[in-house]
Amino acid sequence: MRSKKQYYIRTFGCQMNVHDSEQMEELLRNEGFCSTGDDKSADLIIVNTCSIREKAEQKVYSILGRYRGLKQARPDLIIGVGGCMAQQQGTDLFARAPHLDFIFGTHTIHRLPEMIKEVERNRRRLVDTCFHDSVQSIGIVAPPRGGSVSSFVTIMQGCNNFCSFCVVPYVRGREESREIYDIVNEIEVLTRHGVKEVILLGQNVNSYGNTLNNGANFPLLLKEINGVDGIERIRFITSHPKDLSDGLIECFAVLDKVCEHIHLPVQSGSDTMLRRMNRRYTAGDYLGKVEKLREACPRISISTDIIVGFPGESEEDFQKTIDLMEKVRFDSSFSFKYSVRPGTMAERYEDRIPESVKQDRLMKVQKLQERYTLEGNESLKGSVEDILVEGLSKNSSADVTGRTRTNRIVNFPGGTGLIGERVYVRIQNTYIHSLRGELVEKERNWQC
């Protein structure tokens, strides 16, 4: 007989969701659950959902459909659904998936243990999608499992920007920043678990501190974290172009642990589209920020998000996105076909773009990006890169894998002894999604 109950968590969506799932795992472990990689043998299944685009929601419905069969075969199985879709739909989810036991929102993750106990006790369905002013799960410290050297740290919740296409402000609530001391405390705890790199998470990290009214801001936070012993690298996502200050740009030049990479979603190169998207910057403003970033830090790698086929996007508007891509030559980008989201401002726009046009534009953006990514990677051939080794390579156990400071994946021959080390690697071959190289020297030798 099994002594511990087993949980299985299925996560959809962004890094914020991945980190929320890590926090759920921490709560479940504290309740005596252990993890299983096999949903068929789990006593508890949690589906952490995403509603950013329609496709993400369809995937969730499909997995919930599969779990209906599991529940029929084993009525004792408990199934809970959390995340953005749960937040938005609440009890309505029961109509489509009556086999669910409980539904919790983006602000009620901390109630997970309580909800599970109540379902076990009373065997009745539960929903808690309340919004709380102070998001209590935000500070649950979830040290990464399996000796990972990199860890997410949530610095703020929610978003006040209301971009017209985006559902996030409705499902994650208003922006709320954590205090600097609280974040630094969490990072100090993480270093004691071997963490060397932190990835700071927020929907718009550039506006960090605005809700605190105590002078705290993002550059100040970075400076504090830069001073934490044991932390070697600092990354952050996501930055909003309208709030990218000169102070933050300077951090890339002066704070040694801040890695030379910024994810700066542009969404479109057309001012008409940007206005309709409620982005509050123009293509010219964006290009100006890129110039400043490259002046302050010539090696910086810049990635972006692009939406094609936003309502009313003419061929001319689309061409402006291509023009902007040609000017910036992003190191990488995520591109999406516009997808209508219920409750958003853009839902009301009637001049929708046909699916075939969206598909065609997406292909054009992706093809162009592929060229720039390949060219950017190729330019690194022969260079020696500072790599933080994250683990064994997925493709070969004779190789280890890590990242450059500019966020490119590098594989090279090496063993487990290198995991967690910062080493220097000469780049020999370059591909679209990764680079390959050879170890030059370990950092400590390099510094002698």
* List of residues contacting ligand 5AD (CB under 6 A): 52-53, 165-166, 265, 267, 305, 307, 336, 338-339, 341
In angstroms, the CA 44 to CA 141 distance is 22
Residue 161: CB minimum distance to ligand SF4, A = 4
Check residue 107 and report its DSSP letter: T
Would you say 8 or 310 has its CB closer to ligand SF4?
310
Q: Are 331 and 378 in contact (CB under 8 A)?
A: no
Residue 11: CB minimum distance to ligand SF4, A = 18
- Binds 240: which of ligand 5AD, ligand SF4, none (CB < 5-8 Å by kind): ligand SF4
Would you say 162 or 446 has its CB closer to ligand SF4?
162
In angstroms, the CA 328 to CA 325 distance is 5
Would you say 42 or 168 has its CB closer to ligand SF4?
168
Please provide residue 143's backbone torsions phi and psi, each rounded to the nearest 5 degrees.
-60, 140
Residue 167: CB minimum distance to ligand SF4, A = 8
Does 159 bind ligand SF4 (CB under 6 A)? Our answer is yes
Q: Are 161 and 204 in contact (CB under 8 A)?
A: yes
Among 78, 140, 163, 249, binds ligand SF4 (CB under 6 A): 163
Would you say 46 or 84 has its CB closer to ligand 5AD?
84
- Please give the residues from 270 up to 329 whose contact with ligand SF4 meets the rule CB under 6 A: none
Would you say 53 or 361 has its CB closer to ligand 5AD?
53
Does 169 bind ligand SF4 (CB under 6 A)? Our answer is yes
Amino acid symbol at 207: S
- Binds 330: which of ligand 5AD, ligand SF4, none (CB < 5-8 Å by kind): none
Span interacting with ligand SF4, options 10-18, 161-169, 376-384, 439-447, rule CB under 6 A: 161-169
Residue 175: CB minimum distance to ligand 5AD, A = 16
| x/- map, 191-210, ligand SF4, by CB under 6 A | ------------xx------
Does 168 bind ligand SF4 (CB under 6 A)? Our answer is yes
In angstroms, the CA 105 to CA 83 distance is 6
Span interacting with ligand SF4, options 25-33, 166-174, 295-303, 320-328, rule CB under 6 A: 166-174
Buried b (16+ CB within 10 A) or exposed e, 216-255: bbbbebbeebeebeebbbbbbbbbbbebbeeebbebbeeb
- Binds 190: which of ligand 5AD, ligand SF4, none (CB < 5-8 Å by kind): none
Span interacting with ligand SF4, options 132-140, 158-166, 388-396, 426-434, rule CB under 6 A: 158-166
Residue 366: CB minimum distance to ligand 5AD, A = 14
35 alpha carbon, distance to own chain's centre: 23
- Please give the residues from 234 up to 263 whose contact with ligand SF4 meets the rule CB under 6 A: 240
Q: What is the DSSP string of 31-50?
A: TT-EE-S-GGG-SEEEEEE-
- Binds 111: which of ligand 5AD, ligand SF4, none (CB < 5-8 Å by kind): none
List of residues 6+ apart from 327 with CB closer than 8 A: 287
Check residue 269 and report its DSSP letter: S
Give the binding-site size for ligand SF4 (rule: CB under 6 A): 10
Pairing of strands 332-337, 384-392: unpaired
Would you say 162 or 431 has its CB closer to ligand 5AD?
162
In angstroms, the CA 345 to CA 262 distance is 28
Residue 170: CB minimum distance to ligand 5AD, A = 11
Pairing of strands 301-308, 332-337: parallel
Q: Give the Cβ contact number of residue 56 at 10 Å.
A: 19
Does 161 bind ligand SF4 (CB under 6 A)? Our answer is yes
Does 166 bind ligand SF4 (CB under 6 A)? Our answer is yes
In angstroms, the CA 3 to CA 300 distance is 51
SS (H, E, C) 135-172: CHHHHCCCCCCCCCCEEEEECEECCCCCCCCCCHHHHH
Which of 258, 347, 270 is CA-nearest to residue 313?
A: 270
* Interacting residues with ligand SF4 (CB under 6 A): 159, 161-163, 166, 168-169, 203-204, 240
